């Protein structure tokens, strides 16, 4: 029997490695920008076409490479950054594994021009799918220019996996921001489809933050710094009122390397405890500096995960730095000796800072289901919804057959897929409002008497579902009513925001937003009807930011927007409702296509029979 184990060809091995290193155009951008920084460049230019699918080009004025180095740079595990095992524990460069260029060249067509300052001629290399097609001397300026064309041209499955140009451009902008942010002493420029996205001059870290994210960040930055003999933390955090409801503007750098670290993020969040609005995330750019041997960056090919020798010290230092910075700006939580600690939450603490919270109970007064006189016939637009309303009313019809309530309870306890197809049986509909017994429990749940026991409803989850279906119908049907603003509002958008706005423009307009984009200015002249007037500008910003998110839910764009709107505008916990408002919410809940589950899968209601209630007391 012949031997079956063989060494893979370099081209195939490189293509396999590319699956981890180069996942999308943004991955190639990250590797090329980091190489330019490691080369000692003082000016770096990024040129992208068709969100990196057609062209990614990085031009720098760094040290350049010799003819031999240029050729060797595309070999697997060829690097100038490390030589021995001991060097792995003294890493100060961004790259060191020697995989990036080989992986990129395996799945793209690459052209490189490079020249060292002391040499008269440079080197030109043309590589396609790991195959060197040309290597010749060339006249060029000092530094390196690498053009990556037709990414994944030989891996059609990976190319088909790529998202729309808007979303891929968003990822590229994210990577550009991370590299530019930690290198304020380097000039950066960024062009997409021949349009300038960024042109950043060298300066201080605060100037770079403002250049990347906008002038409105200037008044919201709070400097922070803390030192230990083995570690230091410096950077900026945002004022609590500038916090946003989505992640994305939280930056940790360790020895100038961008990292993702949930443990350290928790340290920042706890330092803000009592200062942030509910479900908000603060802005921060925090730079940790420590000895290289105290961390391990060789955890993953992307090098965004690291391990600390002493994570607890890093946690305590980050938390202390942020708390001290907030305290210096009089943003610490204020003690209230009249509050009972057993019945208060962090969200109820008052602040020394100016209060910007909105009274949402008042603002939502015109939104369902808080308006008891609302006509919910708009929800009766298919037989299933009409049937749901009939079944809901029959829960109170004590003249119906004995089997009805048990049958209804079984339906309500089924999965979303099962229940939607099961609610088909017919029965008599009578006006039974007089028999309804409804009341609120701790301003969080609605309890209603039914024939065989008790109906328990999570009022916040119910409101989310009602709003979600309403907004989704408007988006998909293009029937969202527009409320024109007396004074149009202007928002300044970042390039990443503009990319996402283009991605969801159709959905926003169908929802009822009316706007015009001029350069980086979004002029909003109309919003969906019944939208609270105090949240118009903030809401459209959040929808843009959340366009690419949706948690772990497999939502379409329309569903993500409807879900974000319902989460943002649904009633808060502990909202008082009158009996009429409780009945209105219940009516609208049972007018939904599937009243059992919220959009994120949470169970909304449950029926407890008299037998079940009795067993609880045994």
Identify whether residues 274 and 305 lie together within a single domain: yes
Structure token pair of residue 44? 């770096």
Q: Which of 173, 203, 233 is the last residue of a domain?
A: 203
In a domain, 2, yes or no: no
Residues 334-341 have a mean pLDDT of 38
- Residue 492: which CATH number? 3.30.1370.100
- For 444-480, write each residue's pLDDT tens digit: 999 988 888 889 999 999 999 999 998 888 888 877 7
Identify whether residues 57 and 73 lie together within a single domain: yes
Smallest CA-to-CA distance from 263 within 303, 226, 314, 224 is with 314
Range in 79-88, 183-192, 282-291 the model is least confident about: 79-88
Identify whether residues 231 and 263 lie together within a single domain: yes
**Structural domain of 554:** 480-569
Identify whether residues 225 and 143 lie together within a single domain: no
In a domain, 349, yes or no: no
pLDDT surpassing 60 at residue 429: no
Structure token pair of residue 581? 């408002």
Identify whether residues 561 and 596 lie together within a single domain: no
Structure token pair of residue 276? 């942030």
Average pLDDT value over all residues in the chain? 78
How far apart CA 267 and CA 319 sit, in angstroms, is: 5
User: How sure is the predictor about 495, in pLDDT bands with cuts at 50, 70 and 90?
Assistant: confident
Structure token pair of residue 340? 């009972």
Identify whether residues 189 and 284 lie together within a single domain: no
- For 288-302, write each residue's pLDDT tens digit: 999 888 887 655 555
How far apart CA 67 and CA 136 sit, in angstroms, is: 9
> Can you give the pLDDT at residue 191?
95
Give the rounded percent of residues in the chain with a pLDDT score beyond 70: 72
Total domain count, the chain: 4
How far apart CA 515 and CA 506 sit, in angstroms, is: 12
SS3 27: helix
User: How sure is the predictor about 364, in pLDDT bands with cuts at 50, 70 and 90?
Assistant: very low
Those residues with Cβ within 8 angstroms of residue 445's Cβ, 6 or more apart along the chain or in another chain: 456, 457, 458, 459
How far apart CA 87 and CA 293 sit, in angstroms, is: 10
How far apart CA 173 and CA 492 sit, in angstroms, is: 17
Q: Give CA torsion, residues 171, 177, 182, 188, to 10 deg.
A: 120
Identify whether residues 381 and 434 lie together within a single domain: yes
In a domain, 162, yes or no: yes
Identify whether residues 217 and 98 lie together within a single domain: no
- Residue 282: which CATH number? 3.30.230.10
Q: Which of 203, 237, 262 is the last residue of a domain?
A: 203
User: How sure is the predictor about 540, in pLDDT bands with cuts at 50, 70 and 90?
Assistant: confident
SS3 448: strand
Give the rounded percent of residues in the chain with a pLDDT score beyond 90: 33
- For 32-56, write each residue's pLDDT tens digit: 999 999 999 999 999 999 999 999 9
Those residues with Cβ within 8 angstroms of residue 177's Cβ, 6 or more apart along the chain or in another chain: 212, 496
564 DSSP assignment: H
Identify whether residues 450 and 550 lie together within a single domain: no
Smallest CA-to-CA distance from 187 within 45, 35, 38, 40 is with 45
Task: Yes or no: say if 440 and 576 are a contact pair by the CB < 8 Å rule.
Answer: yes
How far apart CA 112 and CA 152 sit, in angstroms, is: 18
Q: Which of 203, 226, 241 is the last residue of a domain?
A: 203
Task: Yes or no: say if 96 and 257 are a contact pair by the CB < 8 Å rule.
Answer: no
In a domain, 333, yes or no: no
Residues 60-64 have a mean pLDDT of 94
Residues 97-115 have a mean pLDDT of 88
How far apart CA 32 and CA 62 sit, in angstroms, is: 12
In a domain, 217, yes or no: yes
> Can you give the pLDDT at residue 346?
35
Smallest CA-to-CA distance from 36 within 95, 91, 124 is with 95
In a domain, 115, yes or no: yes
Structure token pair of residue 105? 């060249």
Identify whether residues 437 and 551 lie together within a single domain: no
Q: Which residue(s) pair with 428 in the sheet?
A: none
pTM above 0.85, yes or no: no
Range in 325-329, 459-463, 495-499 the model is least confident about: 495-499
Task: Calculate ∠ Cα 534-549-220, nearest 5°.
Answer: 50
In a domain, 339, yes or no: no
Smallest CA-to-CA distance from 258 within 229, 236, 288 is with 288
Structure token pair of residue 220? 């919201």
How far apart CA 254 and CA 92 sit, in angstroms, is: 10
> Can you give the pLDDT at residue 303?
57
In a domain, 4, yes or no: no
150: left (phi over 0), alpha (psi -120 to 50) or beta: left
- Residue 20: which CATH number? 3.30.565.10
- Residue 378: which CATH number? 3.30.1540.20
Identify whether residues 447 and 553 lie together within a single domain: no
Identify whether residues 437 and 533 lie together within a single domain: no
């Amino acid at each position: 029997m012949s031997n079956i184990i063989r060494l893979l060809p370099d081209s195939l091995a490189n293509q396999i490695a590319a699956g981890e290193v180069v996942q999308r155009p943004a991955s190639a951008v990250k590797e090329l920008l980091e190489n330019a920084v490691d080369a000692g460049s003082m000016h770096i230019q990024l040129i992208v076409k068709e969100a990196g699918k057609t062209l990614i080009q990085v031009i720098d004025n760094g040290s350049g490479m010799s003819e031999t180095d240029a050729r060797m740079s595309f070999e697997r595990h060829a690097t100038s950054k490390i030589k021995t095992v001991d060097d792995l524990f003294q890493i100060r460069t961004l790259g060191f594994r020697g995989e990036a260029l080989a992986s990129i060249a395996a799945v793209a067509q690459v052209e490189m021009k490079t020249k060292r300052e002391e040499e008269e001629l440079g080197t030109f290399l043309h590589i396609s799918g790991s195959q060197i097609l040309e290597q010749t001397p060339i006249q060029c300026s000092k530094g390196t220019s690498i053009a990556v064309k037709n990414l994944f041209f030989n891996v059609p499955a990976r190319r088909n996996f790529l998202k729309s140009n808007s979303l891929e451009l968003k990822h590229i902008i994210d990577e550009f921001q991370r590299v530019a942010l930690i290198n304020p002493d380097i000039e950066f420029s960024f062009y997409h489809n021949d349009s300038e996205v960024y042109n950043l001059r060298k300066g201080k870290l605060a100037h770079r933050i403002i250049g990347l994210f906008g002038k409105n960040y200037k008044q919201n930055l709070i400097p922070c710094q803390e030192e230990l003999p083995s570690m230091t933390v410096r950077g900026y955090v945002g004022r609590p009122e500038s916090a946003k409801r989505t992640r994305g503007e939280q930056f940790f750098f360790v020895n100038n390397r961008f990292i993702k670290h949930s443990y350290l993020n928790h340290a920042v969040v706890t330092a803000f405890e009592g200062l942030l609005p509910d479900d908000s995330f603060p802005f921060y750019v925090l730079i940790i500096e420590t000895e290289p041997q105290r961390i391990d960056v060789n955890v993953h090919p992307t090098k965004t995960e690291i391990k600390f020798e002493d994570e607890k010290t890093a946690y305590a230092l980050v938390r202390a730095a942020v708390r001290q910075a907030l305290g210096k700006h009089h943003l610490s939580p204020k003690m209230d000796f009249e509050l009972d600690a057993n019945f208060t939450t962090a969200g109820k603490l008052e602040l020394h800072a100016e209060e910007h919270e909105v009274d949402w109970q008042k603002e939502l007064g015109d939104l369902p289901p808080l308006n008891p006189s609302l006509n919910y016939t708009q929800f009766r637009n298919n037989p299933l919804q009409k049937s749901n309303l009939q079944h809901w009313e029959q829960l109170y019809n004590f003249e119906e057959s004995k089997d009805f309530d048990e049958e209804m309870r079984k339906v309500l306890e089924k999965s979303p897929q099962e229940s939607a197809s099961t609610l088909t049986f017919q029965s008599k509909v009578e006006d039974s409002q007089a028999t309804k017994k409804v009341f609120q429990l701790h301003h969080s749940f609605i309890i209603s008497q039914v024939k065989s026991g008790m109906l328990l409803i999570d009022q916040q989850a119910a409101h989310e579902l009602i709003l979600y279906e309403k907004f989704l119908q408007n988006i998909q049907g293009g029937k969202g009513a527009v409320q024109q603003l007396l004074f149009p509002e202007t928002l300044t958008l970042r390039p990443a925001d503009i990319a996402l706005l283009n991605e969801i423009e159709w959905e926003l307009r169908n929802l009822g937003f009316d706007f015009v984009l001029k350069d980086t200015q979004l002029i909003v002249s109309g919003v969906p009807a019944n939208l609270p007037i105090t949240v118009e500008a903030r809401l459209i910003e959040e929808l843009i930011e959340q366009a690419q998110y949706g948690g772990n839910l497999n939502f379409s764009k329309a569903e993500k927007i409807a879900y974000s709107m319902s989460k943002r505008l649904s009633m808060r916990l502990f909202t008082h409702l009158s009996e009429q408002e409780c009945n209105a919410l219940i009516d609208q809940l049972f007018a939904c296509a599937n009243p059992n589950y919220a959009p994120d899968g949470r169970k909304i209601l449950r029926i407890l029979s008299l037998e079940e209630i009795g067993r609880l007391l045994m």
